Structure 1
């Protein structure tokens, strides 16, 4: 081939390449399992096993490292999501406290019965969420998905040809030139060279390659107006062809699975689209930073967390949850679960919450309450950890 023609090379359609090419999977495909329904996870595992049986599956060692590093955070995030949901569940107080003039009325009795049923439903729902959360905690030492990944990865690992230090050095040089992939991660404090290290592993392959990834960053793919991937960047296709004489293509998990199984359910398709990659989750962490920068929002979250932990202590000690957090505090002190000093501090924090609603407090009060509240959270968490131990 004349030298200039390599710049005008056109790859085959990805649907055609899928039939006989090497399939390389990205880290986000594995991590997404902790956000998908079981039916979706099984669909993906079955597809990857089929590819492996055809001796066409490859997993870069870098992908395994990133999966191992980020897997605990994925599980932790799911636990935190449930904690947030649980903390928002609130029982309804007796209506007589709001409208005492209705005492003795038949209409109030009917409403009170409905309130009691509602509170029971809330408790049952809460108990169910707590059981789910405890099940998630078990994944740290009993994870069937991890076992399946270990079997799937056996005999498919792509080892790097260079040392990690050499690859990181090369990545920095490419970042300066804005060469894809990975230059969008150049500012990351950790694993900034991760995408390039994966790419360097792909460049070792001497056959057509389809890269299955949920990464939508413009240093991997071209995007449509809705930021959905269209196809792999020209620079990547060109570099791969110049080095190997073969074709490289990028495909999303959804397109990968539906190409192999067009009859897949709509629920599975929905899962394959609606999940957050590592980079997207890093963006959500910025939202948390915004909360940290807003003391009033952070203070409200501290109060919610304290209320949640107090109810947790009641449940762990077989104490009937009362009508208010103050009732629960009294019960915990009587049983000597918490000290009177901790109770006084929590009541002080909650008093500030009332003052906040009445707009009779300033920023200094809020910052002090946050610091005190965080100390109380640590103490209450320690009590719970002791009970679990």
Structure 2
């Protein structure tokens, strides 16, 4: 019996824990509709995460997923950061804002936050997932002792084997099509860039642990295809961005429903790690000098956030982190519960059609 059965889900569907987009209201609505909702707490501290968990618990009694970032501790490089800020300076000037003098990482890795583990042990979410890597063995064991289902995003067989050895109950096979940040354990290592079909099938044939397919899946037919490949469920992120309960702002929603959805780009210049988003000002940046290497994740994010704030003050919304996968043109704007029910009907039809 896989964790999908253990959780009592009506539908083999997980909503991706998109930090900043996956609000408690969205997660609860997905859960109450029979799928697994999620919140991403990697962009907040333990107190903020505790509040988000409490908000979900107030809206649903069903299991939900809490996702944390386990990225490598960023190493400041003053020279690299200065070169990056110097390259961005003309853009800040264009919007009448001074370029930052220093950059500080806006997010803390789970492995560097002494308060996050005790908070999770106290709140005892039924599902906890990890992005960018794996926690220390003693932390994994402590979380397992609460009875939580543990999941890790992986982009290769090697990462999946590491996740299984670490004690994960399942892996999220993130294909290159997926929106948001690549879940690479080591961002400096070569990325084979496996698509969701190849990666899901590879991991299903390996058979080490249950596989959740993620990347480009937007509807019931896509979920059916992933199940046919051997996945126990599919994880959808971009599909939920246009839902009324999501945290996406008006500019993000408008871009998602427009021509930019057909042209997603994998970029490192926003945060310092490769992430797929809608084509916008970031994807067309040019300057008088070649673009230097951005600072380490998430230090680079500090500059991107500052530039986005300055640009938005002047009416320019193209510097937002508008993450989206290659299935973005298939996005539908509707309440989350309606979307889950629609996907469930589409999945049933796909299965019926295939006999």
The two structures share one fold, judged by TM-score above 0.5: no
With normalisation by structure 1, the TM-score equals: 0.30
